[in-house]
């Protein structure tokens, strides 16, 4: 495996464990050249899932795109990358439980919002503002008030 820092091809596996109920293996590796650590994942290659977009288009599910959206929502927030990775892995695990190979983007967005709501309320509001496409400040304020009411319960 090529080190993402120094590009050397010599490394050793420091830790290996199953994630997503055995559907994936997470490996912590250490570069033998620069001694920095990095994480790799091994997954079973399966038939691709298609995401049905709001406008009816279909595109292949992309883990990087899901991760990128959550990272943008959590930008400059005190959220550990491991927790973000865990959310992505959990969402992918939920997708694998679904028999259908076509999943509406709305369903994925709702799962992301549910997870962000418990992780970081600011990240949740950021994601919701893009995902729900608020038309004006009133819609945005309505979502904030709903969030505040839930937190008081």
Question: 50 has which bridge partners?
Answer: 60, 102
Give the Cα-Cα-Cα angle 101, 66, 64 (nearest 5 degrees).
Answer: 95
Please tell me whether residues 40 and 58 are part of one structural domain: no
Cα 86 from chain centroid (whole Å):
7
Average pLDDT (129-142) is 75
Does the model's pTM come out above 0.75?
no
Question: Are the beta carbons of 22 and 42 closer than 8 angstroms?
Answer: no
Domain of residue 17 covers: 1-45
Rg of the chain, C-alpha, whole Å = 18
Q: Count up the domains in the chain and report the number.
A: 2
Nearest Cα to Cα of residue 57 among 98, 92, 102: 102
Query: The tokens of 141 are what?
Result: 């304020």
pLDDT tens for each residue of 60-97: 999 999 999 999 999 999 999 999 999 998 888 888 77
Please tell me whether residues 61 and 31 are part of one structural domain: no
Please tell me whether residues 51 and 123 are part of one structural domain: yes
φ, ψ of residue 17 in degrees (nearest 5): -150, 155
Please tell me whether residues 69 and 125 are part of one structural domain: yes
pLDDT band (50, 70, 90) for residue 47: low
Helix (H) and strand (E) counts for the chain? 5, 6
Question: Are the beta carbons of 106 and 87 closer than 8 angstroms?
Answer: no
């Amino acid at each position: 495996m090529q080190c993402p820092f120094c590009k050397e091809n010599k490394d050793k596996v420091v830790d290996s464990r199953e994630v997503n109920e055995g559907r994936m293996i997470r490996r912590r590796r250490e570069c033998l050249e620069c001694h920095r650590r990095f994480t790799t994942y091994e997954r079973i290659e399966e038939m691709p899932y298609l995401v049905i977009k709001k406008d009816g288009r279909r595109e292949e599910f992309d883990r990087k795109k899901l991760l990128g959206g959550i990272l943008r929502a959590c930008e400059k927030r005190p959220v550990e990358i491991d927790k973000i990775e865990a959310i992505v892995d959990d969402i992918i695990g939920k997708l694998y439980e679904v028999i259908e190979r076509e999943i509406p983007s709305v369903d994925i967005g709702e799962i992301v919002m549910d997870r962000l709501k418990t992780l970081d309320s600011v990240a949740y509001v950021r994601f919701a503002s893009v995902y729900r496409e608020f038309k004006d400040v009133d819609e945005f304020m309505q979502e904030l008030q709903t969030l505040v009411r839930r937190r008081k319960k």
